[in-house]
Amino acid sequence: MKFTVVIPTRERCDTLRATLRTCVGQDHDDLTILVSDNASTDATRDVVESFHDPRIRYVNTGARVSMARNWEFALGHVEDTENYVMYLGDDDGLLPHALDDVGALLRDTGVAAVSWKKAEYMWPSYAIKPWRNLAIVPLQNHLFRYDGDRVLRDVRNLWIPYYRCPTLYNSFVDARVLHDLRRRDGGVFFRSSIPDAYSGYALLARIPWYAYSTRPFSLNGGSGHSTGVSLGGNRDNPGPRTRFLAEMDIPPHPKLWPLPGSTLLAVMEALYQANDHALDGRLTMIRPMILASFFREISGHSAERWGDAVALLERCATEGDDPALHRAIAVFRRLIPNSPRSVETPPRRIGLDGNHMLWVDLDPHGVTDVDGAAQWIGHLLGPYQRPAELRRYRGTDKLRTRLGAWVARRVPDFTL
C-alpha cells in the first residue's frame, strides 16, 4: 500500500528535523515524504538533504505564497493513483509503526479515509510557558464508523468539532478523491485560508463513510512557530499570526467576517467555503448557534481582548448595514457575559483527566522534541491492536437532532 506524507514548511528547519525523523523511522518502503518548502531562506533544504533517504522528495514554491497556496502546490506533486495522503505539520510527528497500523485498517475496512484523535505535544518553545514539554495522550482504543451526512449535520450544528471530519492533518485519504474534487473545482482543492479544516469538510462530499480511531497514529506538535496557537489570540507570540494574516490571499466568504482571535469563526468560514465549492450548497447554516458559540469562545478572554472582539463584530454589523446582527450582539452580550479566566496551569506530573487523556510532564524523561515525544508515547501505548467492534457513530440524541432541524427550517441564513 502506497502512502504520501506531505510536510508543508517555511523557515522552520529547527523543528523540521525532528518531524522528518518520525517519518523516516517508519518501516515502510512504499512511502513518499514530500517536503513542500515555501521559499525558506534558512537551512530547510540542507536539513532535508542531510537524511539521504530516497523516500524523501523536496519541492520548492520558488516564491513566498500563503499557507493554502503551499498546500495546493504540494498537492499538485501527489500522484493521482491508489495512494493514501496525509499532511503533517513541520513541528508534528508520526507515532512508531503508524503507516503499518493505518494500512491494516484501510485494507480491512475498504474505506477511502482513516482518521484518528491525535496526541498532543507542547515543544519547549511553546508560547505558554507552564505548558512546555507536556504531552497529552488519548488512552482509549475504539474504532467508529462515521457516516458523512451525519457528521456534516453535527458539525453544521456545532455539536462536534471540525477535527472529527477526515481532515488531512489527522487522516490518510485516497489521493484519487482529492484529485477528483480538485478537477471538479477548476483545478483547485483548497478554497479557504484554513486548509486543514476546509479539507475535512470538503472531503465529506465524496466520502460516504470513514473510520475514526480514538487511538492516535500521529502527534500534534505545538511550538513557538505554531500558527494555530498564535491565531487563537496568544499575545506572547504574535509573529506567526501576523505573517499568516498578511499573506492570506483567498478572499473570505462574503457571508462570514472572520475575526482575529476566533478559532470558531475561522473554521466556520472554511465550512462556508466548502459548502459552496464541494457540497453544492446543501447545508443551511444557523446564525444563532454560531453567535452563541462565538460569545462562549471569547467569554473567558481578558476584558481587553473580549472588548476588542465584540467591537470588531459590531463594526462588521455597521459596515454590512445589518441591524439584525446588532440586535443579536446585544442579546448575546447579556446572555453570555465576559468572565475572564487565567490560563490554567497544567499538572507537572502524570495524571488522568476525565476524558481518558493522560497528561505527562516529559522533562524527567529527557524528551526535548517531537521525535522523542513520539517514541515515548509509542512505547507507552505499545503495539496497536484493532478493536473487535466497529462502532457506528450515532451523533446527537434524537430530541437535539429534531430541535436543530426545526430551527434550520425556520431561521434564514443571515450569518455574520
If 0-12 CB within 10 Å is exposed, 13-18 middle and 19+ buried, where does residue 410 land? exposed
Tens digits of per-residue pLDDT, 155-208?
988 888 999 999 999 999 999 999 999 999 999 999 999 999 999 999 999 999
The pLDDT of residue 231 is 57
Nearest by Cα to 64 from 250, 251, 248, 252: 248
Dihedral of CA atoms 202, 267, 90, 141 in degrees, nearest 10, equals: -80
Check: pTM over 0.85? Answer yes or no.
Answer: yes
Tens digits of per-residue pLDDT, 132-148?
999 999 999 999 999 99
Buried b (16+ CB within 10 A) or exposed e, 181-211: bbeeeeebbbbbbbbbbbbbbbbbbbbebbb
Cβ atoms of 197 and 266 within 8 Å: the answer is yes
The pLDDT of residue 379 is 97
The pLDDT of residue 157 is 85
Tens digits of per-residue pLDDT, 237-281?
566 656 666 677 888 888 776 676 788 888 999 999 999 999 999
- Of the chain, the percentage scoring pLDDT greater than 70 comes to 88
The pLDDT of residue 236 is 59
Which residue reads 434524537 in cell numbers? 398
Average pLDDT estimate for 81-88? 97
CB-based contacts of 198: which residues, under 8 Å, 6+ apart? 68, 190, 191, 192, 270, 273, 274
Nearest by Cα to 24 from 59, 58, 55, 50: 55
Q: Could you tell me the residue ranges of all domains in the chain?
A: 114-416
Q: What strand order describes the sheet that includes 390-392?
A: 56-60, 31-37, 3-9, 84-87, 171-174, 113-116, 209-213, 143-147, 390-392
Does residue 6 or residue 338 have the better pLDDT?
6
The pLDDT of residue 367 is 97
In a 3-state reduction of DSSP, which class is residue 249? coil
Whether residue 416 is predicted with pLDDT greater than 50 in this model: the reply is no
